[in-house]
Amino acid sequence: MDSKKTAQLARFLQYVIGRHPDEFGMVTDAQGFMPVSDVLKVLHSEGWSQVRRRHLETLDFHLGKPTLEIRDHLLRVRDRSRLVQHREATDLPKLLHVPVRRRAYESVLQHGLRPQGHTGQVVLFADPVLARSVGQRRDPQPIIVTVNVQAACEQGAGFQQFGESIFLADRLPSGCCRLPRPPKTPRPREVEQDLPAPVPKTPGSFILTVDPFGDPSPGQTSEKRRHASKDWKKERRRARRWKENQTKTQ
């Protein structure tokens, strides 16, 4: 990337990671870190499809100043002075939404929602559209679990808030989770087994089969033609003799 593109990328990352990651459905941990893979998915969805991890690792070198800090699979911006903070949730909506993979359906149905990811908490969204968009980063057809907040609070769940529309909980029992119908599992296709080719009785040779109702063999055809030609000649001789007899009688 040229210097102009590099500067634009740095400004975008500063906003996404260092100010309002909640607008993109992302949450930082207590130290401001988030997974590199999640950041790359957001970049690709926002028009930066050419950006790879190596571009993030060399961003400081091209800018000539420290901007990002990468530790293994996590990263954060160095300037976090304007980053939204975790806080106790005071005005909770009635319903919250959590995207999960399809393969986790049975687990959520039986055990509820458990902490996952780098935050060690369940991440919930007030906006179901944002929840689905975040879920599609990991599963093309995610399951959206609807959480009854009042029922969760009655069962001892506590909530934190991150930004405007993201909430965090330690754990949510299955009694407060409403799931849609289970996803359809495609039936396994039956694999047609190829039957082995028949082995000839005499290896290295082949057997001719004659269809009695099919076309005659070449030998039979020529024999019929000879009989037909003889019959035609006999008829012609009879006609010539009859004509000669008629002439004599006249």
How high is the pLDDT of residue 246? 66
Is the CB of residue 176 less than 8 Å from the CB of residue 152?
yes
Beta-bridge partners for 70: 75
Burial 183-203 (b: 16+ CB within 10 A, else e): eeeeeeeeeeeeeeeeeeeee
Q: Are 122 and 170 in contact (CB under 8 A)?
A: yes
Yes or no: is domain 3-77 CATH 3.30.750.80?
Answer: no
Of 40 and 249, more confident: 40
pLDDT of 2 reads 80
Find, among 169, 164, 170, the residue nearest to 21 by Cα.
Answer: 164
CA distance 25 to 164: 11
Segment 124-151 shows an average pLDDT of: 96
Point out the least confidently predicted range of 118-127, 130-139, 199-208, 211-220: 211-220
Q: What is the pLDDT of residue 141?
A: 94
Domain locations along the chain: 3-77, 86-178
pTM for the full predicted model: 0.71
The answer regarding whether domain 86-178 maps to CATH 3.20.170.30 reads: yes
**What is the pLDDT of the chain when averaged over all its residues?**
85
Residue 192 has pLDDT above 60, yes or no: no
Average pLDDT over residues 13-23: 95
Copy the structure tokens of residue 208. 């001719």
Q: In the prediction, which pLDDT does 237 show?
A: 78
Is 90 exceeded by the pLDDT of residue 70? Answer: yes
Residues 79-97 have pLDDT tens digits of 999 999 999 998 899 999 9
